[in-house]
Structure 1
Amino acid sequence: MRIGVACLYYEIDKVLNIIEKNKDFINHIEIGIDTANQIDEIAPFIDKIKELGLSIGIHLAMEINTSENIEFIRENWAKFCFEMCKSLEKFNPSYFNIHMGYAIKNRFLKNNCKYMKNSVDFFLKLSDYLEKLSIKPIVTVENSYNLIKGDVINTGTTKEEFKYIFENTKEIRLKNKSPYFCFDTGHYILNKDDYFSLKDFTKVVHISDCNGEEDNHLGIFCGRLKKVDLKKAIDMNPDYAVIEVKYDYIEESIKNVKDFFKPK
């Protein structure tokens, strides 16, 4: 298991300095990138990343909607993900992480299976595109939550939605290792379900905390995250465990989670 820190593309310089001070513990970085022009912003740091021996994960834009009901737009989301992956090929990322997406609330509640089928179709389309890459990173999809009342809701907020997708993408997962699960502990606080039962599909865990009212990325154990739930998340045995907190909380959070990774 590799242990990492998450950051947005414009924070990479500062975060690499923290990682350097903790290189005996941290050996992975997950970078949030929304658009192609942001890739140029991280390019100057690739030598530093290699020098520190870090593996790289990429968190793609939250706007991506695998559940999109309009086929033309869903196809173009798959193309967008492929183009981003292609542009990032030179960084040799281990995985690309995305959220499942969103839907019109009343339509989703009436027929959520339709939107899960849309997501399956998205991953099948994306799989075909990713075959064109020289690298073969995995794609992980992350649990989400719903807090704000309105006409649009997030998808990917229950264990059953993920089970449906994983059960219906067995063929491509055997072929190119995607999609898999990213379990976010902060999102779990806001929208609980038995995600721990998805252990066999889990490749990434986001170690995050919040106040229980919003996804505010507090320092670890400064919000509602319980030690027992962090232990259960780590026991899912992901390939990557990533501390995902605001920049100001990173160093303290590294100290707070170290004991959970000590050899037993």
Structure 2
Amino acid sequence: MKLGISAMAYDIKEKIEICKELKFNHIEVGIDNLEDWNFLYEQIEKLKRNDISIGIHMPMELNTCETVKYINKCWVDFFLENYKRGKLLNVKYYNLHLGYGLKNRVKKQRKNYLDNTVHFLLMLIKKMTDIDIYIENTYSLDGDLVNLGNDAGDFEYIFKNVKSENLGFCYDTGHNLIDKSDYLNKLHSYIKLIHLSDNDGKSDLHMGLNENGLLREEDIKYLLKLKNVKYIVLEMDKKFFQTSKNIILKNL
């Protein structure tokens, strides 16, 4: 199991230095545009020299359940172009949220939206046979647009209909504190990636562990014992990295 930190492409150089200092060996990088890869290419030698692996978090705007077929295909093409560019860096996985839809339509046609996601993932897996794809739980607030992937049932449906060893689940502790569902009981065998952060149950504050949020140390201990987890990523401000790492090491 690798312990890592989150980064944006533009601050990858700083995050490599933090990894060297704190002895982390993985970085999950948020990519928003294809041009962002240039920041990573500039650091290829440093990443190799320090044995730091890379995972990619796809942009929040990506919508796997997009109902407009033309746009949905554009998202697939965008994803595959990122996959092509990531080969040079030996990217270990791509992580993504399921996407979103109009509130009233999602309420009435949730299965149709999930079927769009199933089709989307099957298209990717057909082309990306050598790399893992992780789908992440999120939270949904009450607005005109709502997120899918805020209920364990969404992921049960997807894993039932997409049979691939390359598809896994990313469990985000902060998102679950805001919009709870029974992910750990229903999806524990699929969890390959964990995003660790804490919050107040209302906002995704990306607090460090043991910073007076709602995540209990016994919850952390449980997560660390899950058998199939390959990566743990601290999704929090850099000032929390050291203390959070200490808590993890104490509970391993």
Distance 1:41 1:55 in 2: 15
Structure-2 residue corresponding to 1:3: 3
Residue 183 of structure 1 aligns with an amino acid whose one-letter code is: Y
Cα drift, residue 232 of structure 1 = 2.3
Q: Does 1:241 align with 2:232?
A: yes
How many pairs align?
249
Structure-1 residue corresponding to 2:180: 192
Cα drift, residue 212 of structure 1 = 1.6
Consecutive unaligned residues of structure 1, counting only runs of 5 or more, are: none
Cα drift, residue 258 of structure 1 = 2.1
Distance 1:123 1:203 in 2: 17
- 149-158 or 68-77, larger mean C-alpha shift: 68-77
Q: Does 1:156 align with 2:165?
A: no
Deviations along 1:206-249, one digit per CA (max 9) or x if unpaired, are: 11112221112111221221112222222233111111112332
- 116-125 or 208-217, larger mean C-alpha shift: 208-217
Cα drift, residue 98 of structure 1 = 0.5
Q: Does 1:61 align with 2:59?
A: yes
Structure-2 residue corresponding to 1:254: 245
SS in 2 for 1:111: helix
Structure-1 residue corresponding to 2:219: 229
Deviations along 1:171-209, one digit per CA (max 9) or x if unpaired, are: xx1xxx332100001111111111112111111111111
Residue 115 of structure 2 aligns with an amino acid whose one-letter code is: K
Answer whether contact 2:63 2:98 (CA < 8 A) is retained.
Answer: yes
Distance 1:12 1:256 in 2: 25
Distance 1:42 1:247 in 2: 19
Distance 2:77 2:67 in 1: 16
Return the TM-score normalized by structure 2.
0.94
Distance 1:58 1:220 in 2: 23
Distance 2:159 2:120 in 1: 13
Cα drift, residue 75 of structure 1 = 1.5
Cα drift, residue 55 of structure 1 = 1.7
Answer whether contact 1:138 1:180 (CA < 8 A) is retained.
Answer: yes
Distance 2:245 2:11 in 1: 17
Structure-1 residue corresponding to 2:131: 137
Deviations along 1:45-82, one digit per CA (max 9) or x if unpaired, are: 12111111122111111111111112221121111101
Residue 93 of structure 2 aligns with an amino acid whose one-letter code is: Y
Instruction: Give 1:10-21 correspondences, 5 Å limit.
Output: 10-21=10-21
Answer whether contact 2:12 2:39 (CA < 8 A) is retained.
Answer: no
Distance 2:106 2:236 in 1: 31
Distance 1:49 1:260 in 2: 28
Return the TM-score normalized by structure 1.
0.90
Structure-2 residue corresponding to 1:106: 104
Instruction: Give 1:209-224 correspondences, 5 Å limit.
Output: 209-222=198-211, 223-224=213-214
State the Cα RMSD in Å: 1.4
- Identical counterparts, % of pairs: 35
Residue 14 of structure 2 aligns with an amino acid whose one-letter code is: K
Q: Does 1:203 align with 2:197?
A: no
Answer whether contact 1:140 1:182 (CA < 8 A) is retained.
Answer: yes
Residue 247 of structure 2 aligns with an amino acid whose one-letter code is: N
Distance 1:260 1:13 in 2: 30
Distance 2:85 2:55 in 1: 14
Residue 142 of structure 1 aligns with an amino acid whose one-letter code is: E
SS in 1 for 2:42: helix
Distance 2:183 2:144 in 1: 26
Consecutive unaligned residues of structure 2, counting only runs of 5 or more, are: none
